[in-house]
Structure 1
Amino acid sequence: MILAWLLAAHIAVLGYWLGSEFVINSTYRYVSYSDRMPFPERARLMEHVMHVDQHVRYALVLQATLGTALAALYGYVPGGETVAIGAGTIGIVWLGFVEAVHRLRHAPIGRTLAAIDRASRYALMALLAAIAIGLVGGGWPMPLWLRWKLALFACVMMCGVGIRLALIAHFRTWAVMARDGPTDATNAVIRRTYVRATAILLLLWLFIAGIAVLSVAKPL
């Protein structure tokens, strides 16, 4: 019974993740192309985008936690219930940390917490890639479709990093707009940044679609 509930939650989180991404992209597009909207109102909506972005971070933690627990309970990785319980415990702590990073992002410790958060995601990407190609757990009874799924999950996270890098131009320009007011030039930068970030997001959605197909078909 617990396996069925965990599997249902694992599927539901994928929908939660995609829904959050759609809301973020839609609102960000509205902000980017609302040149005539008073800047304080645009800034308020942009702050809303940053709040909604938290849901993507929650989804990442939940997917990693639930996926690890399911893999352990199905016997794909060693440890069984012990690993599943450990994954759940780590997931709860991780969620708390992600929330702290968000709430304290403007505090003096904010940059340090954000750096730790990024490092943890890079470490997870490296671990997923290592498991996918067999550098870690090469002898585990893990089917090939699951290793491909982990590889795609790492690709999804890489897209997240790519979107963040694409948005550096947005935040730099946004700070200038907040200080000096919007101009045609700065608005153009914001729109170009939206297009670049969305292109990477489309690739992210493609990888998520691949994960869904592998999860259902289990072809390998």
Structure 2
Amino acid sequence: MIVAWLLAAHIAVLGYWLGSEFVINSTYRYVSYSDRMPFEERSRLMEHVMHVDQHVRYALVLQASLGPAIAALYGYIPGGEATAIGFGIFGAFWFGFVELVHRLRHSRIGKTLGAIDRTSRYVLMAVLLGVATGLIGGAWDMPQWLRWKLALFACVMMCGVGIRLALIAHFRTWAIMAREGPTDETNAIIKRTYVRATSVLLLLWVFITAITVVSIWKPM
């Protein structure tokens, strides 16, 4: 019974994730192309984008906790119920840490916490790829479709890193606009950055679609 509830939550979180991505992208596009809007208003909306972006982080934590818990209960990874509970506790602490990073992001310690958060995601990507290729848990009774799903999930996370890298130009330019006011040149940079980030986001959606297909099809 508990597995059925966890599976339902696993599916619901995917919808939550995609919905958040659509809202973020739509609002970010509005901010990027609102040249005539007073910068103070654009800045306020951009801050709202950063708040909504937190929901994507929540979804990542939830999926990275629910997935292994379900796999443990199905016997795909060792430990059974104890492992599932362990991932639940881990997910709760990780969720709290992500929220702390968000709330303290403008402080000095927040920058340090942010660096730790980013590093932990690189570690998670490496672990996912390790399990997907069999370098980790090669002897586990894990079906091949699930290993493919983990590899695709790592690709989704890599796209998230790509979006962050694409947005570096945005934040640098936005800081200049805050100090000196927007110009045609800086507005053009913001628009180009939106296009680059959205291109990576489209790839992320492709990988999420692939995860859904693999989960339903379950190719061996």
Q: Compute the TM-score of the two structures, normalised by the length of structure 2.
A: 1.00
Separation in structure 1 between the aligned mates of residue 24 and residue 13 of structure 2, nearest angstrom:
16
The aligned counterpart of 1:133 is: 133
Please report how far the alpha carbon of residue 109 of structure 1 lies from its aligned counterpart in structure 2 after TM superposition: 0.2
- Equivalent residue runs for 1:170-209 within 5 Å: 170-209=170-209
The aligned counterpart of 2:41 is: 41
Amino acid at match of 1:138: G
- Equivalent residue runs for 1:7-18 within 5 Å: 7-18=7-18
Alpha-carbon displacement from aligned partner over 1:152-173 (angstroms, at most 9, x marks no partner): 0000000000000000000000
Please report how far the alpha carbon of residue 59 of structure 1 lies from its aligned counterpart in structure 2 after TM superposition: 0.2
- Equivalent residue runs for 1:98-113 within 5 Å: 98-113=98-113
The aligned counterpart of 1:164 is: 164
| Unpaired segments ≥5 residues, structure 2 | none
Please report how far the alpha carbon of residue 129 of structure 1 lies from its aligned counterpart in structure 2 after TM superposition: 0.2
Amino acid at match of 2:99: E
Moved over 6 A (4+): none
The aligned counterpart of 1:95 is: 95
Which SS does the other structure have where 2:108 is aligned?
coil
Which SS does the other structure have where 2:139 is aligned?
coil
Separation in structure 2 between the aligned mates of residue 8 and residue 205 of structure 1, nearest angstrom:
21
Alpha-carbon displacement from aligned partner over 1:84-140 (angstroms, at most 9, x marks no partner): 000000000000000000000011201100000001100000000000000000010
Please report how far the alpha carbon of residue 179 of structure 1 lies from its aligned counterpart in structure 2 after TM superposition: 0.4
The aligned counterpart of 1:67 is: 67
Question: Is 1:50 aligned to residue 50 of structure 2?
Answer: yes
Which SS does the other structure have where 2:16 is aligned?
helix
Which SS does the other structure have where 2:136 is aligned?
coil
Q: Compute the TM-score of the two structures, normalised by the length of structure 1.
A: 1.00
Which SS does the other structure have where 1:111 is aligned?
helix
RMSD: 0.4
Please report how far the alpha carbon of residue 219 of structure 1 lies from its aligned counterpart in structure 2 after TM superposition: 1.6
Alpha-carbon displacement from aligned partner over 1:190-220 (angstroms, at most 9, x marks no partner): 0000000000000000000000001111122
The aligned counterpart of 1:218 is: 218
> In the comparison of the two structures, how many residue pairs are matched?
220
Amino acid at match of 2:80: G
Separation in structure 2 between the aligned mates of residue 48 and residue 111 of structure 1, nearest angstrom:
19
